[in-house]
Amino acid sequence: MSTTTHAPPLATAGPRWRDRRTRTTVSLALALLVVVAVAVAGTLATGPAAVTDLAQRHQPPSLDHLFGTDAYGRDLFRRTLVGLRLSLVVGTVAALMSGAIALVLALVATVGGRWASAAVNWLVDLFLALPHLVLLILLAFALGGGTQAVILAVGLTHWPRLTRVLVSKARETTGADYVALSRSLGHSRTHVARHHLAPHLVPHFSVGVVLMFPHAILHEAALSFLGLGIDPGQPAIGILLSDSMRSLSAGHWWLAALPGLALLVIVKLIDRIGEDLRLLVDPRSAQL
């Protein structure tokens, strides 16, 4: 009588997960490297980006000027790098602000009792029901425009979806035995939130902030395009796109196409960073 043996299904799961984790880590590192390089290059290009040369105005893309020049002969590639750096700074501050709001509200909704949970849910539903871009414009206008106004407007409006995710994760944690034991020992709600819930939410908070980053950058560019964002004297991407509208009819296509394409590439890279972080943080990815 012959017997057949079957390898356990998890025999290859380990190497497969390690390969997937390695690929994800390499992808994450490369995307981070590109984003950091853009930020550093934008910092170094701040001075040269403001140099004017009227003899070189409206030059098409070439080896001397990769993105061409604008109406004042300024190198558009350097100005785009500076604009991307500004977008990264604004996106970082605004995303961290929204993430902090989401984390605090999630903890309040989880440990604050029924009324606190109802209040947070109502607040989330209210912000999600409002037209997002209209709310951004109204806030930026009410705050007087400028860099600080756009950071506040973006930071105060991007937290609702992340709040829902964090509330869901926090409620899963409250059902754990160690949380019940902590409560039975007489620990306060603040102690439970700080020592048990917050550490569990940090990975989800980090992924949520990174995934929020592309939306913050795009909305900053939209507000700058409308004249309510970054100060007009700064070469923000939205301002570059707004200025290009005056020259498109003359055939100067590079003034809008190339900065816009660079913005989309950066947004896609940051979105990829968020997705890679989510795969590394989520243990269920090991089963994929």
Write the single-letter amino acid at 179. V
Q: In the structure encoding, which two tokens stand for residue 274, read together?
A: 């968020």
The pLDDT of residue 19 is above 60: yes
Give the pLDDT confidence score for residue 175 in this predicted structure.
66
Please give the residue range of the domain that contains residue 174: 33-53+62-281
Instruction: Classify residue 221: in a domain, yes or no.
Output: yes
pLDDT tens per residue, range 179-238: 666 666 666 667 677 777 778 888 888 888 888 888 888 888 888 888 887 877 788 888
Instruction: Classify residue 80: in a domain, yes or no.
Output: yes
**More reliable by pLDDT, 230 or 41:** 41
Give the pLDDT confidence score for residue 34 in this predicted structure.
85
Give the pLDDT confidence score for residue 288 in this predicted structure.
47
80: CATH: 1.10.3720.10
Q: In the structure encoding, which two tokens stand for residue 30, read together?
A: 């490369």
* Lowest-confidence region among 10-24, 27-41, 70-84, 271-285: 10-24
Instruction: Classify residue 9: in a domain, yes or no.
Output: no
Specify the number of domains making up the chain: 1
Among 193, 143, 185, 165, which Cα is nearest to 278's? 165
The pLDDT of residue 267 is above 60: yes
Q: In the structure encoding, which two tokens stand for residue 94, read together?
A: 């605004």
Give the pLDDT confidence score for residue 101 in this predicted structure.
93
**More reliable by pLDDT, 24 or 167:** 167
Is 158 within 8 Å of 208 (Cβ atoms)?
A: no
DSSP assignment of the chain equals --------GGGTHHHHHHHHHHHHHHHHHHHHHHHHHHHHHHHHTTTGGG---GGGTTPPS-SSSTT-B-TT--BHHHHHHHHHHHHHHHHHHHHHHHHHHHHHHHHHHHHS-HHHHHHHHHHHHHHHHS-HHHHHHHHHHHTTSSHHHHHHHHHTTS-HHHHHHHHHHHHHHHTSHHHHHHHHTT--HHHHIIIIIHHHHHHHHHHHHHHHHHHHHHHHHHHHHTTSSS-TTS--HHHHHHHHTTTGGGT-THHHHHHHHHHHHHHHHHHHHHHHHHHHH-GGGGG-
- CA 196 – CA 107 distance, rounded (Å): 11
Instruction: Classify residue 27: in a domain, yes or no.
Output: no
Among 154, 132, 150, which Cα is nearest to 141's? 150
Its pTM surpasses 0.85:
no
Instruction: Classify residue 255: in a domain, yes or no.
Output: yes
Instruction: Classify residue 19: in a domain, yes or no.
Output: no
Q: What percent of the chain has pLDDT over 90?
A: 8
- CA 158 – CA 169 distance, rounded (Å): 19
The pLDDT of residue 1 is above 50: no
The pLDDT of residue 148 is above 80: yes
Split at pLDDT 50, 70, 90, the class of 77 is: very high
Instruction: Classify residue 266: in a domain, yes or no.
Output: yes
Is 139 within 8 Å of 156 (Cβ atoms)?
A: yes
Instruction: Classify residue 11: in a domain, yes or no.
Output: no
Split at pLDDT 50, 70, 90, the class of 10 is: very low
Mean per-residue pLDDT over the chain, rounded: 81
